[in-house]
Structure formats: C-alpha cells, structure tokens
Structure 1
C-alpha cells in the first residue's frame, strides 16, 4: 500500500492523520504543505482544493479529512482490520490553539 499524506507540520487535524497511520504501523510519505510549495501545489493539483489534511492511498485521494475519516476509509476498503487500540493523538479535532 502506498500512502502520501499532505500535512501541516503543526496542526491537530494533521496530527490526527499521523496518529491513525502510526496506530496501524502503516508506512507513509509525510509531505509538508507549509514549508514546501511543491508539495502544496501537488496536493492542490491532485485534490482540486486547498484544504488539508489530504491523503492519497493507492491512488485514491481523500481531501480535507480527519484521522477518523482516514481510518474509516482504510477499514471499509478492507485495507486494515479495525483496532480498538488508542491513537497517540486526538484524531478528530483542530489544535487547541485554534
């Protein structure tokens, strides 16, 4: 499985996506859309919008998603078996400062 995650370095939503991918020990490419304009432009080209997080899983693009939504997609697609283990960070919220 190939996963590319278009994320912000510091963001509750982005950290939630990271937490889900780490919970299932899924390897992924973490693309920094704040500090790397090329990564941001690639996300916009693939998703047709500017919101993050956005995640590409084996060519399927999930735009403006939470960690919970990524997990639900992976489970419903049969790519992972649901785990009740807790994630290392909240998977469904913005940063506390937002």
Structure 2
C-alpha cells in the first residue's frame, strides 16, 4: 500500500530532519522523497507547492504544507484530521 503522505526533503536540511522525526515519533507512514536525487521530483514539488523550499508535505487528497516547522505540521495534521 502506498503511503497517503509524501514528504519532499533535502537530506541535509535540519527542518527536514525535524519533520521526519516528528512524523516518525507519532507513527505516520510517508514516502520520503529526496529532491536532490531527482530533478523530476524537485520539479514536481515546485509544481505542487509553488515554491522551492523543503520540507514540503503533500497528502493523497492534494493538500500541501510547504516550508514548515514542527509547530505548523502539528496544526496542519490537526486541522485536516490526518492521523497516523
């Protein structure tokens, strides 16, 4: 089964590491996409989010949370009732 969430990251990005830790600690399943490994993935993230910054979270329903920290992530999953 494909995870309902996609997390676009740059592996060296401290905000990306924090986003992964936050999701992992709460049991979320997600596809981790390193945008520096694939230009197509980077372009897809830009198309979906309208910006170039990571982390960017995309749901199966097309909701997008670009360039965020843990506080914004917590608000986003609560607002849209996204559970692990």
Q: Report the TM-score, using the length of structure 2 for normalisation.
A: 0.84
For 2:64, the equivalent position in structure 1 comes to 61
**Equivalent residue in structure 1 for 2:82, among 79, 83, 87:** 79
Q: Would you say how many aligned residue pairs link Structure 1 and Structure 2?
A: 81
Larger Rg: 1
Structure 1 partner of 2:18: 16
CA RMSD of aligned residues (A): 1.7
Aligned to 1:28: 30
- Identify the structure with bigger relative contact order (alpha carbons < 8 Å, sequence gap 6+): 1
Task: Spell out structure 1 runs of 4+ moving beyond 6 A.
Answer: none
| Runs (5+) with no aligned partner, structure 1 | 82-98
Q: State the TM-score, normalizing by the size of structure 1.
A: 0.74
